[in-house]
Amino acid sequence: MISSCVISPQMLRSLPLFGGLNPVALRVLAAGAIELKYPADKVLFNAGDRPHGLLVIVTGRVRVLRAREGRQHLVHEESPGGTLGDIPMFSGGTYPATAIAAEPTVCLLLPAEAMRATMRSDPGLAFSLLERLAVRTRALVERVDRLAGQDVKGRLAALLLERHRAAGQPAEFSPGPQGQLAEELGTVREVLVRALRDLRDQRLIEAVKGRRGYYRIQDYQALRQLAQ
């Protein structure tokens, strides 16, 4: 859904990617920016679609997925300040994966030509985008290592510990919907359910009664050993 909201240079400056841009470049980008709003589960774009520019997330969360042999695999996830469409921005062509809003999300669409002109006038923006690509590539390499070197139960243990830390280590926490967890672990929901049951049977975790999808870690040390 396209918003009629006028994008100000100050709004762009509040985003980490554009904080260092000069006022002229900010005005040029803001003049062409379009605000897009997506409800949860809405597809932002499909693999193979031709992009119109760079998407920058203002609020919300977006999951980027690649389909293979009937499965959806998580490629990366972006939150406020994150970008989508970096690869076709630099290499041309179409989107290599599909992006879906994991929750209500607001993005800014910045036209490709305006982005390229800004990068030519202020190379710092290009370096910032390349740095983001490098960080994302490193995360993808680490994900491939986990997929190759760990079974599903080990990957699940690592993910549960990560979500527990991200939640501030409360006694009870939710790692997220099972379908999304399966995509992140490179498996299917049925295998994930069995892995969760095994962890409960081994008394490494327990399901919280009355709070569907919430868990409590029972044996933190054993879960860490399994995740390694």
Band the pLDDT of 1: cuts 50, 70, 90: low
Q: In this structure, are residues 159 and 174 in contact, taking their beta carbons and an 8 Å threshold?
A: no
Structural fold of domain 150-227:
Arc Repressor Mutant, subunit A (1.10.10)
**Strand 105-111 to 34-38 pairing:** antiparallel
pLDDT at 3: 56
Q: Where in the chain is the domain with CATH 1.10.10.10?
A: 150-227
pLDDT in tens, 147-169: 777 788 888 988 898 888 888 87
Other CB atoms within a 10 A radius of the CB of residue 117 amount to: 15
Say if residues 102 and 212 touch (Cβ distance below 8 Å).
no
Terminal Cα distance for the chain, rounded: 43
Backbone φ and ψ for 42, nearest 5 degrees, come out as: -80, 135
Residue 176: what pLDDT? 85
Per-residue pLDDT at 167: 82
pLDDT at 90: 85
Per-residue pLDDT of 124-145, as tens digits, reads 888 888 888 898 888 888 877 7
188: tokens are: 């299917």
- Name the fold adopted by 9-148: Jelly Rolls (2.60.120)
Query: Could you say which DSSP state residue 49 is in?
Result: P
Q: Which residue ranges does the chain devote to CATH 2.60.120.10? A: 9-148
Which residue in 108, 40, 102, 103 sits closest to 72, CA to CA?
Answer: 102
Task: Write down the pTM of the prediction.
Answer: 0.72
Interval 183-211 mean pLDDT: 89
* pLDDT bucket at 98, cuts 50 / 70 / 90: very high
**Are 204 and 153 within 8 A, CB to CB?**
no
Per-residue pLDDT band for 107 (boundaries 50, 70, 90) equals very high
